[in-house]
């Protein structure tokens, strides 16, 4: 292989690496938010400017006196920028992921606004008293019009399974909250505010229960999560569930 042929192939590699760098840079700017055109142009011209400077320095110190040597420096420069741009893209994507605590606070705010007023009677035995965010956990508070003895006579396990199944199969809350690390806790108390049971729902519990994660498109189509005040202790017909 002659030196011109070798230099030509190295130049082609440098061009490909620059194209990859351009893709990573564009994706990074898009992931970070509104794209500033001037900033984007500067970022795209940066690798070319540095490549010219590095080649000039290499020639000054007689490290790239030939066309092939200059092409090697160009390849190294573009490879370095491509790796850096890829790292910047990963950082931009990860930083845009919502923190579970932020998502939990947002859900609580939306639930309170949607409820209209609290406490709110769900049925003859269930009162939805409120909702709070504690870190990454959203706690729904319910009071039951029954004693502890009455409560333990009800099919608690069946209700727990039903609640988890409904929460896990709701596309909006599964994708927008549970899969983002938010924990749901449903706390039930008796007539004198003594805790009867707490039911937790997490993404891990949903996966263990066999509920398939909903597609992102379906989650975006759903406007809100299931209204939490609908989780009552009263049996309901299976055909009435929305």
Quick: pLDDT tens for 200-231.
999 999 998 776 555 443 433 333 344 554 55
Shared domain check, 122 and 149: yes
Is 138's pLDDT higher than 90?
yes
Is 148's pLDDT higher than 50?
yes
Count the domains in the chain: 2
Please give the model's pTM, rounded to 2 decimal places: 0.54
Per-residue exposure over 148-182, b if at least 16 CB sit within 10 Å of its own CB, e if not: eeebeebeeeebeebbbebbbbbbbbbbbbbbbbb
Lowest mean pLDDT among 32-36, 109-113, 191-195, 238-242: 238-242
Q: What is the mean pLDDT of residues 21-48?
A: 80
Shared domain check, 175 and 65: no
Average pLDDT of the chain to the nearest whole number: 78
Alpha helices in 61-142 (DSSP H): 67-95, 100-115
Shared domain check, 111 and 71: no
Please report the pLDDT score of residue 183 as a whole number.
Answer: 93
Domain end, chosen from 68, 95, 122, is at: 95
Nearest C-alpha neighbor of 107 from the set 232, 198, 224, 216: 224
């Amino acid at each position: 292989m002659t030196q011109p042929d070798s230099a030509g192939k190295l130049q082609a590699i440098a061009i490909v690496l620059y194209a990859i760098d351009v893709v990573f840079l564009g994706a990074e700017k898009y992931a970070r938010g509104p794209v500033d055109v001037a900033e984007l142009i500067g970022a795209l011209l940066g690798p070319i400017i540095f490549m010219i400077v590095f080649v000039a320095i290499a020639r000054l110190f007689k490290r790239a006196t030939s066309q092939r040597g200059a092409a090697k420096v160009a390849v190294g420069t573009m490879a370095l920028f491509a790796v850096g741009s890829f790292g910047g893209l990963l950082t931009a994507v990860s930083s845009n992921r919502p923190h579970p605590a932020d998502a939990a606070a947002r859900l609580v705010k939306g639930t309170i606004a949607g409820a209209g007023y609290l406490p709110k009677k769900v049925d003859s035995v269930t009162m939805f008293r409120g909702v709070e965010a504690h870190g990454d956990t959203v706690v729904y508070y319910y009071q039951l019009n029954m004693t502890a003895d009455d409560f333990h006579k009800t099919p608690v396990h069946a209700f727990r399974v039903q609640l988890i199944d409904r929460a896990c199969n709701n596309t909006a809350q599964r994708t927008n909250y549970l899969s983002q690390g938010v924990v749901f806790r449903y706390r039930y108390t008796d007539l004198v505010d003594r805790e009867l049971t707490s039911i937790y729902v997490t993404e891990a519990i949903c996966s263990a229960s066999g509920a398939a994660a909903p597609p992102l498109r379906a989650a975006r189509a759903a406007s809100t999560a299931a209204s939490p005040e609908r989780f009552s202790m009263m049996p309901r017909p299976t055909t009435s569930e929305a």
